[in-house]
A and B are shown apart, each in its own frame.
Chain A
Amino acid sequence: MEVTETLLKQVAKMCRLNFTEEQYRSLKDEFDRSLADVEVIFTIPTSFVAEEKIQPPETDDIEYSKLRA
């Protein structure tokens, strides 16, 4: 998958992060490298099928009210 600056800007918006144009160029390199690194998982056969959408877990490990600004 080709990582474009437009795509990165969409992701940054979802993450509520701002980057300079230079940082986007650097991030594009990071994404290209990371996506190449994770390709190896596609060589591993898996039969796992999710019955419903699984979301990454949210923690309940700390009382976040105690880390308020």
Chain B
Amino acid sequence: MNYNNTDNKLSILKNKLQNKEIGFYEAISCFLDNIKANKTLNCYTDVFEEDAIKKARELDIRANKGEQLGALAGIPIAIKDNIAVNGKVNSCCSNFLRGIKANSDADVIKRLKAADAILIGKTNMDEFAMGTSNETSCYGPVLNPVDNTRVPGGSSGGSACAVKIGSCVAALGTDTGGSIRQPASHCGVVGFKPTKGAISNKGIVALAPSLDQVGILSSDTDGVASVLKILSDFSKTHVNKLLNQTIKVGIADDFLFEGMSSDIANTLDRAKDKLTHHGVEFVKVDLPSFKGALADYMILSYAEAAISLDRFDGIKYGNNFGGDAAYNRTKGFGYEAKRRIMLGKFFATDSRYEKYYLKAIGVRRRLCDELNEAFARCDYLMTPSSLMAAYGLGEDVSAHKEIAYSDMYTVLANLADLPAVSVPFGHDCAGLPIGIHFIGKHNADFDLLSFAHILEL
């Protein structure tokens, strides 16, 4: 049996396992082989080969005995390296935590284990989830599986790549400003950030706690929904996919940006045509404060990151490099982390607090008010997932405005605690995947996934 990119869907694997067309051990061996065959992409920091095989053999025995298995029995799931798995290294891809193992499971891991999922490994990421290219990892960059000369996006680039190559059928990531949705878009998979709090964050290493959210990547919206059912406590987990009433999608002139590539703009038009064909109605909404969303995100996330990372000193927490706290922190953190810590401290302390941090809180509230007004007129908002497709490894971000602005659409959902999803929809002229991004109302997570499924038809 071969799990390639076209049939790497959770529902297909689940059916084959349930119908005993394939055994658990046989299936997991295929995924482990895929990991080995794609090692050069560098998407895993640790592969749990022994544990995965042990779990698969256990499931084969239990299935043969006729025992009731969990809802995700035998489904291989990869875990971002900032989510604690008991007994496994939880390094956040930073030298500061390299080699340090977690002594307990994150809440999401407890739920996956209880559902009999198979944890297949930890995935590479930007250091402490700080980045949009996966180039700040202490383990080196992840390569984009579609074009190896390009970035996979970040910070959950390893998770997106792991799904795309068929080494797992779903992966967990974390999303603070687009860290699941942007790499999903660049790699051609579905990336979903739930409503803030819908999935427990307990057991992740925080970057910016008011914005962080554990989320899910998979090959399709159905795969995401299957994992979401296990990880969340939503009572409504099934939505009739037949549209009984007119769905309204909001688009805003404020979303137009001069740096948007023509490929992205054309893809957006094609998505609009497809949705219109399925009876969706488009309405114009106003989000005048959208122009400040990225700047707002920058101030708030950097300020929170400076505090979250303040505890790492190599004495009490993190690796000791043989000096005092300043020496250890200087050695332990990479440049991007240090840059954000410096700016975050600058924005949030004493004389700058009112000017920057308090103002940013005010702008966040205004953005939330404007989004509430927009959602009074529509069910979903639609934007591109990113301003451009995956860019080249080693690009100078500061020299390209569109790269620096790549999170401008995704940060909205984090600032307003809303669910959002990136769905692959076509390619640019170079054959690189492009994602369409939808934002939904609070707690309408399953509705959102069901709606986004239209683009997969």
- Cβ A50 vs Cβ B201 within 8 A: no
Chain B residues positioned under 8 Å from A45 (CB to CB): 366
Q: Tell me which of A11, A16, A40, A46 contacts B362 (CB under 8 A).
A: A46
The answer to whether A34 has its CB under 8 Å from any CB of chain B is yes
CA distance A66 to B366 in the complex (A): 39
CA distance A61 to B342 in the complex (A): 23
- Cβ A44 vs Cβ B289 within 8 A: yes
Q: Which residues B345-367 have CB closer than 8 A to chain A?
A: 345-346, 348-349, 353, 356-363, 365-366
Q: Which residues B310-359 have CB closer than 8 A to chain A?
A: 311, 313-320, 325-327, 329-330, 333, 338-339, 341-346, 348-349, 353, 356-359
Chain A residues positioned under 8 Å from B210 (CB to CB): 56-57
CA distance A64 to B310 in the complex (A): 12
The majority secondary structure among interface residues of chain B is helix
- Cβ B359 vs Cβ A42 within 8 A: yes
The answer to whether B206 has its CB under 8 Å from any CB of chain A is yes
- Cβ A38 vs Cβ B366 within 8 A: no
Distance from B345 Cβ to chain A, minimum over Cβ atoms (Å): 5
- Cβ A56 vs Cβ B298 within 8 A: no
CA distance A50 to B291 in the complex (A): 24
Distance from A43 Cβ to chain B, minimum over Cβ atoms (Å): 7
Question: Nearest A residue to B309 by beta-carbon distance?
Answer: A15
- Total number of B residues with any Cβ neighbor in A under 8 Å: 71
- Cβ B100 vs Cβ A67 within 8 A: yes
- Cβ B365 vs Cβ A37 within 8 A: no
Distance from A59 Cβ to chain B, minimum over Cβ atoms (Å): 4
The answer to whether A58 has its CB under 8 Å from any CB of chain B is yes
- The digit string for A26-44, where 1 denotes a CB below 8 A from any CB of B, is 0100110110011111111
- Cβ A67 vs Cβ B339 within 8 A: no
Chain A residues positioned under 8 Å from B260 (CB to CB): none
Chain A residues positioned under 8 Å from B295 (CB to CB): 37-41
- Cβ B318 vs Cβ A67 within 8 A: yes
Chain B residues positioned under 8 Å from A50 (CB to CB): 358, 361
Q: Tell me which of A18, A19, A61, A68 contacts B327 (CB under 8 A).
A: A18
Q: Which residues B43-98 have CB closer than 8 A to chain A?
A: 84, 90, 97
Chain B residues positioned under 8 Å from A43 (CB to CB): 291-292
The answer to whether B392 has its CB under 8 Å from any CB of chain A is no
Chain A residues positioned under 8 Å from B299 (CB to CB): 38, 41
- Cβ A14 vs Cβ B349 within 8 A: yes
A14-B349, A61-B204, A62-B203 as given contacts; A47 in contact with B342, CB under 8 Å:
no
- Cβ A67 vs Cβ B345 within 8 A: no
Identify which of B237-245, B300-308, B423-431, B441-449 touches chain A: B300-308
Instruction: Please name 18 further chain A to chain B contacts, defined as beta carbons within 8 Å, in addition to the given A50-B358, A67-B97, sorted by A numbering.
Output: A15-B306, A15-B329, A16-B325, A17-B329, A38-B295, A41-B296, A44-B366, A55-B348, A56-B210, A56-B300, A57-B307, A58-B307, A61-B205, A61-B206, A61-B212, A67-B90, A67-B100, A68-B317
Taking Cβ atoms with an 8 Å cutoff, the residues of A that contact B are: 8, 11-12, 14-19, 27, 30-31, 33-34, 37-48, 50, 53-59, 61-64, 66-69
